[in-house]
Amino acid sequence: MPNLLLLLRHMTHATLLSAAVGLSAADAETANPLLTESTLPFHYPRFDLIKNAHFLPAYEAGMAAQLAEVAAIASATAAPTFDNTVVALERSGSLFRRVGTVFSNLSGAHTNPEMQQVQRTLSPQLAAHNDAIRLNPALFARLSSLYERRSTLGLDPESMRLLERYYKDFVRAGAKLPEAKKAQLRALNSELATLQTAFTQNVLKERDASSVIFATREELAGLSTTQIDTAAANAQAAGQPGKFLLKVQNTTGQPPLESLTVRASRQRLLAASLARGSRGGDFDTRSTVAAIAKQRAERAALLGYPHHAAFQLEEQTIGGVDRLNQLLAQLAPAAVANARREAADMQTLVDAEQGNFPIAAADWDFYTEQVRRARYAFDGAQLRPYYELTRVFLDGIFFAATKLYGLTFKERHDLPVYEPSVRVFDVFNADGSQLAIFLLDPYARANKNGGAWASAYVSQSTLLARKPVIANHLNIPPPPAGKPTLLTHDEVNTAFHEFGHALHGMFSAVKYPRFAGTSVPRDFVEYPSQVNEMWATWPEILKNYAKHHETGAPLPAELLAKVTAAAQFNQGFKTTEYLAATLLDQAWHQLAASEIPSADGVLAFEAAALKKVGLDFAPVPPRYRSTYFSHIFSSDAYSAGYYSYIWSEVLDAASVAWMIQNGGLTRANGDRFRATLLSRGGSDEALTLYKNFTGQEPDLKHLLVRRGLEAKP
């Protein structure tokens, strides 16, 4: 590797590009649009020019160019300074970042077999590339020299934090290990990258393979005409004309379960969902799950930690594994007790109907709706006509951002998109200056990962003179041609949530790209987006967007009152299914390598782990089972970190209470949130930013009240 780095150091950027693609330097940039900066506004990607064949050579060129830049930094004869070492590292890899950002985003939102092959090829190479930088002893020596005398360098706070973060990142990556252990670490990282890619791709393939075919319309009784027509169209597209196909979404629970009146149909759909990744065949993920967990545990031990969770939580805001376990132990019993009470209410209804069966997981959503109707005289289907997609965004989400932050939005149609349903908006500050470009990708597709997420195509940085290009990705089932897209209440809430992430990225005002937008601890990143959910039902916002898609009539006040009254309804179920998944995450990642079960023992381990903590309540299965738990097994990002949603809600609930106490939907509150927290990214300690905004320490009481786990004081 050192000889290669010396060679790369003396190659020009143009030579690297031409070598990577086999063209002259003059032709390389026009042949592959990823090799040059986009000339579109804000460096918006050239989706119209990018082809599958461009990714691998552009990646290879980007890796080679960054290694050459890093080699030059590490072998410089000048004494290390903040500028020639730390800032130089921040500037390095511009091509690599550009290619990686576009590829990783499209791999999640719009993949295809060719891209999946590139993923498989690149996964171990990218791990090796990262190791080549983080495990470079000469580079780490320069960083260490600066870190040890950091108090004498006269750095501003953001620069000081950058130096400290780089040093910690390198240490956590193994920079202090002896060479023999570095070799072991490289091998583990390479194998983990390959395994995680395989898991991701098999979960996506298995999800599509798990679609359930029904022979008759009667089996789908309870679904709307539009939903049944969509199922018929899905079956037609799958080569099953005259039948009906329900697609399985990424979570254990499936939306049609709340409406299907035929119990056998509910059971078939949930059984297909629960069996994913565990029934043999090409897409079975049990061996991959076991291997990932074992190799993460081995890596943690190599780095000096008792298990992977200890390694992951060291850098999080919750304060370590013991504090997390205490939080989960406090929440789990109350959540399950609530769920059992909810089940008893539903069982009473089943018995009154002489159903002659105990409430099971496949029945929960259906009978929840029956109880909701009886108790609050409404069901979720009554809301859908008032939640039309475009109106939710333009008159709801964007309207709230205008009221809070003075933002305005203008849709544009001149920029290329990777899929026709993607929409693009310019985002402007109150003074008329352009803040960002925002992409909305709302619909589910077979080649799109499940769930909902936000991502940056371009991250903000004053050092690199970059303004943000941010995307929201949802998985709303597309309606039949010519029909409106009507959302569920949960889908509306999710849309507000994901736009909270987008705001975090768009408001970023940091110098260094290392701190841009959502580059914060994993258990803090969900917090600002969860705060943004509060505006979905804020009266002034709701009345502006919740209008009947045909008549324009506002959502009736009495219906809204019922929604508000039912806010804590079914919270036992929601909290229990979430905590069950969270406990599985911790169960896998608080083990030493020798304790990891084999592939054949994965399901038994899962059952035992839930039983141990009292979350083995059969009518409420985990939100994700291990075999399709993409959050924790597709990458290291959320591994041992799925708890972050509930911890972020601790912060969110207190912040919402602060907002309400201080006037709610006001520019003053929005500007304060933007200035003290949203614009700061990771440039300061996360809890410091939280306290700067709320003026208080985190307090669990607001979450307990919100979820109905404790009486109001």
Catalytic machinery residues: 498
Cα–Cα distance between 195 and 120 in angstroms, integer?
Answer: 9
Closest CA relative to residue 586, chosen from 606, 566, 604 = 606
| Residues found in the chain | 713
DSSP 488-552: -HHHHHHHHHHHHHHHHHHS---SSGGGSTT-S-HHHHHHHHHHHGGGGG-HHHHHHH-B-TTT-
The greatest distance separating any two alpha carbons of the chain, rounded to the nearest whole angstrom, comes to 85
Query: At which residue do the structure tokens 């009240």 appear?
Result: 705
Residues 6+ apart with CB under 8 A from 144: 167
Return the half-sphere exposure (C-beta side, CA atoms, 13 A cut-off) of residue 431.
2
Sheet containing 408-412, strands listed edge to edge, beginning at the edge strand earlier in sequence = 408-412, 423-428, 434-443, 469-476, 453-458
Task: Report the b/e string of 622-631 with b at 16+ CB within 10 A.
Answer: bbbbbbbbbb
Two tokens, residue 695: 């003026």
Two tokens, residue 5: 């780095």
| Residue 369, number of CB atoms within 10 A of its CB | 20
CB 615 within 8 A of CB 580: yes
Q: Residues 707, 670, 645, CA angle at the centre, nearest 5°?
A: 30
Query: At which residue do the structure tokens 């629960």 appear?
Result: 274
What's phi and psi for 697, nearest 5 deg?
-80, 155
CB 61 within 8 A of CB 68: no
Cα–Cα distance between 380 and 259 in angstroms, integer?
Answer: 10
Return the half-sphere exposure (C-beta side, CA atoms, 13 A cut-off) of residue 292.
28
Cα–Cα distance between 653 and 658 in angstroms, integer?
Answer: 9
Range list of β-strands (E), 527-674: none
Grouping H, G, I as helix, E, B as strand and the rest as coil, residue 209 is: helix
CB 408 within 8 A of CB 402: yes
Two tokens, residue 178: 């002896």
Per the DSSP assignment, residues forming a β-bridge with 453 are 473
Grouping H, G, I as helix, E, B as strand and the rest as coil, residue 453 is: strand
Q: Identify the H or E element spanning 408.
A: strand 408-412
CA–chain centroid gap for 634, Å, is 11
Per the DSSP assignment, residues forming a β-bridge with 554 are 547
| Residue 694, number of CB atoms within 10 A of its CB | 19
Q: Identify the H or E element spanning 435.
A: strand 434-443
The full 3-state SS of 269-331, as one line of letters, equals: HHHHHHCCCCCCCCCCCHHHHHHHHHHHHHHHHHCCCCCHHHHHHCCCCCCCHHHHHHHHHHH
